[in-house]
Amino acid sequence: MSRVSERFPEFPWDTLAAAKAVAASHAGGIVDLSIGTPVDPTPDVAREALTAAANSPGYPTVYGPESLRQAAADWLARRFGVVGLTASGVLPTIGSKELIANLPLQLGLGKGDTVGVPELAYPTYEVGARYAGCNVIASDSTIGFGPITPRIVFINSPSNPTGRILPVDHLKKMVDWARERGVLLVSDECYLEYAWEGTTYSILHPDICGGTFEGLLTVHSLSKRSNLAGYRAAFVAGDQSVIDELLAVRKHLGAMMPGPVQLAMTAALADDEHVKIQRETYAARRHGLRSALEGAGFTVEHSEGALYLWATRGEPCRDTIDWLAARGILAAPGDFYGAKGTQHVRVAITATDERIAAAVERLA
């Protein structure tokens, strides 16, 4: 364990044990809004495809069938205006976290290399960099990297934890800056379907990438879009040379998505109706929870997209966690995500209608 602690920080959610115990002691039970895990049913279209493919005695391939990769390219074109992406530029992954955590190592980065991450960010960007032995710089601006040129820079829009949607001009500026310096820009777009205020864009959109995917990767997950978190279904797409390198490495590692999941993912990507229904469900939960938080004295910042409310009471985030826990509500402290989050909490909107209603009542 000592060697692990030297390489990685403490797993963030382990630090919530005391607050979780307090929240769980509430007479009405805990309302756990600390993790954005889906609770609604996996759509029938995915379950039916999985069941139909259950007789799967042979090994799947790392690349997956062309039909899956084409379904991903078609979805990006249909929903987000991505032009020119073909099946060859898509690679299925065993969830997006696995890809993000292993990307620096699988691309040959190591000691002496630097990875850029957002100032408020999903912890796995940094964990994956440190796993490969890289240095990490947190910055939301190209100026923040100073004279250092990272090998990889991660961006995330809509953001986890803040829900911030990056505008087109910012995304284009990042693309231009990265290309001028030979930096691989990796855009985590797993919440792209969930925009509440404004419009979301993929960095592969022609207005941003200029019609070429050189130096760009986009990462997508069906965990949130299609309630497939338990399936571990995701993909990475973009620069063909980088996709080819990842494919070659991942063949050696046996990083294969299970065959039945590949077919379930194909079916889910081809269907937009279940996503529309899920968006409506989350929109109602978000509205009720946001109103209740603001009524209880919280200020909600950003939160234009994704599945979280980024909220503050103007006090240290752990004090806010204790305040919520006393009311049977568990949230994620902002310090999980970086030094700029020390006065915020991240409140997930992914609990059931009944648990969201319980939280609203307790906040009142």
What's the CA gap between 290 and 285, in Å, rounded?
Answer: 8
- pLDDT over threshold 80, residue 12: no
User: Same domain for 236 and 262?
Assistant: yes
How high is the pLDDT of residue 66? 98
User: Same domain for 32 and 56?
Assistant: no
User: Same domain for 284 and 310?
Assistant: yes
- pLDDT over threshold 90, residue 7: no
The residue among 270, 290, 325 that closes a domain is: 270
- pLDDT over threshold 70, residue 3: no
How high is the pLDDT of residue 5? 61
How high is the pLDDT of residue 33? 98
The tens digit of pLDDT for each residue in 59-90 reads: 999 999 999 999 999 999 999 999 999 999 99
Share above pLDDT 90 across residues of the chain, in percent, rounded to a whole number: 94
Mean pLDDT on 5-10: 67
The tens digit of pLDDT for each residue in 294-347 reads: 999 999 999 999 999 999 999 999 999 999 999 999 999 999 999 999 999 999
pLDDT band at 4 (very low <50, low <70, confident <90, very high): low
Provide the residue type at 342 as one letter.
T
The residue among 270, 288, 306 that closes a domain is: 270
User: Same domain for 74 and 94?
Assistant: yes
Element of type H or E holding 116? strand 114-117
Q: How many C-beta neighbours within 10 Å does residue 105 have?
A: 16
User: Same domain for 339 and 285?
Assistant: yes
246: domain CATH number? 3.40.640.10
Question: Which tokens sit at 323?
Answer: 């305040």
User: Same domain for 135 and 257?
Assistant: yes
Q: Which domain holds residue 143?
A: 49-270
How high is the pLDDT of residue 101? 97
Is the distance from CB of 227 to CB of 190 less than 8 angstroms?
Answer: no
The tens digit of pLDDT for each residue in 81-130 reads: 999 999 999 999 999 999 999 999 999 999 999 999 999 999 999 999 99
How high is the pLDDT of residue 146? 87
How high is the pLDDT of residue 88? 98
User: Same domain for 80 and 125?
Assistant: yes
How high is the pLDDT of residue 185? 98
How high is the pLDDT of residue 173? 96
C-alpha separations of 109 from 112, 152, 178 in Å: 8, 9, 17
What's the CA gap between 274 and 41, in Å, rounded?
Answer: 10
Instruction: Count up the domains in the chain and report the number.
Output: 2
User: Same domain for 206 and 303?
Assistant: no
User: Same domain for 255 and 285?
Assistant: no
Is the distance from CB of 49 to CB of 267 less than 8 angstroms?
Answer: yes
User: Same domain for 23 and 57?
Assistant: no
The residue among 270, 299, 314 that closes a domain is: 270
* Residue that has been written with the tokens 């968006």 in this structure: 279
- pLDDT over threshold 90, residue 10: no
Mean pLDDT on 17-28: 96
Question: Which tokens sit at 265?
Answer: 């993912």
The tens digit of pLDDT for each residue in 34-61 reads: 999 999 999 999 999 999 999 999 999 9
15: domain CATH number? 3.90.1150.10
- Average pLDDT across the chain, whole number: 96
User: Same domain for 114 and 218?
Assistant: yes
User: Same domain for 102 and 231?
Assistant: yes
How high is the pLDDT of residue 313? 98
